[in-house]
Structure 1
Amino acid sequence: MDELVARVSAALGVDAQVARTAIGIVLGFLQKESPDGAVAELLDKLPGAREAIESAESAGRGGGLGGLMGGMGGLMGLGAKLNSAGIGMNQIQALGHEIFGYAEAEIGPEKLREIVDSVPGLAQFV
């Protein structure tokens, strides 16, 4: 997880805590929206991932715009949560590129495709 946090932090120009929270938000979204098999395999290969998801979910319960819009489903809700966590809309594609690039190296392109294809609109962030 530390390697992915460092990659995201460097690519987006955010501190490590913001990067960790953003990763937790995205992984939590994938865990909810995608079939369990490939996502569970990714989480198993990324020590600290489940803790990052729990931490991001706890932080998101505080209300504000992310709390209100985070109740929306799909990618719009994901974008609102990320924005609330300190990720600008112009940084979301780079965030996706880093997370999915890392995921592909961990679980392979076929499993990554399974995840991406299961969530409408997600392909634009890979």
Structure 2
Amino acid sequence: MDQIIARIASAAGISEELAQQAVKIILNFLAKEAPEDKVQMLIDALGANSLVDASSPASGGGLLGGMLGSMGGMGAAMAALNELTSAGLGMGEVKSVASEMISVAKENTDEQVVDDVINSVPALSQIL
């Protein structure tokens, strides 16, 4: 995992600590929004099980979650993007982190699985 974080940090021109935080935010977003089995394959490909918050509530919980969920995941994508920018990332850096995560995942698992995860979350276009 350390090598992957270093690679993502280098690609995005950010610190390894910030890269790890960004990967965690993106993976937790995907864990809530994409098919569980395919996201787990992606997480395994990145060696990032320790970054996914198992206690995080499923998407659509509560009044606000229900309203955001009815927006087709767009609210969750905006929340994840807000977390990423609050952590100190600009849009270019967010896109670099996401792009490098996708590249690493495709190198370490079935490319179709990665594509399926991406395609299953229409709101992901806000990050990519």
Query: Is the shorter-chain TM-score for this pair beyond 0.5, marking a shared fold?
Result: yes
- Give the aligned partner of residue 62 of structure 1: none
Matches within 5 A, 1:42-53: 42-47=42-47, 49-53=48-52
1:34-71 deviation line (CA, Å, top 9, x unaligned): 00111111223333x232233xx8xxxxxxxxxxxxxx
- Give the aligned partner of residue 15 of structure 2: 15
* CA deviation after TM superposition for structure 1 residue 110, in Å: 0.8
**TM-score for the superposition, normalised by structure 2:** 0.74
Whether contact under 8 Å (1:38, 1:114) holds in the other structure is yes
Q: Distance in 2 between matches of 1:121 and 1:38?
A: 17
- Give the aligned partner of residue 68 of structure 1: none
The one-letter code matched in structure 1 to 2:89 is: I
Whether contact under 8 Å (1:97, 1:125) holds in the other structure is no
Tell me the number of residue pairs that the alignment of Structure 1 and Structure 2 aligns. Answer: 109
* Runs of 5+ consecutive residues of structure 1 not aligned to the other structure: 58-71
The one-letter code matched in structure 2 to 1:28 is: N
- Give the aligned partner of residue 78 of structure 1: 80
Whether contact under 8 Å (1:117, 1:123) holds in the other structure is no
In our comparison, the structure showing a higher alpha carbon Rg is 2
Whether contact under 8 Å (2:45, 2:105) holds in the other structure is no
- Picking from 101, 104, 108, the partner of 1:102 is 104
Instruction: Tell me the secondary structure at the aligned position of residue 90 of structure 1.
Output: helix
The one-letter code matched in structure 2 to 1:116 is: I
* CA deviation after TM superposition for structure 1 residue 105, in Å: 1.2
- Give the aligned partner of residue 69 of structure 2: none
* CA deviation after TM superposition for structure 1 residue 123, in Å: 5.0
The one-letter code matched in structure 2 to 1:39 is: V
Percent identical residues: 33
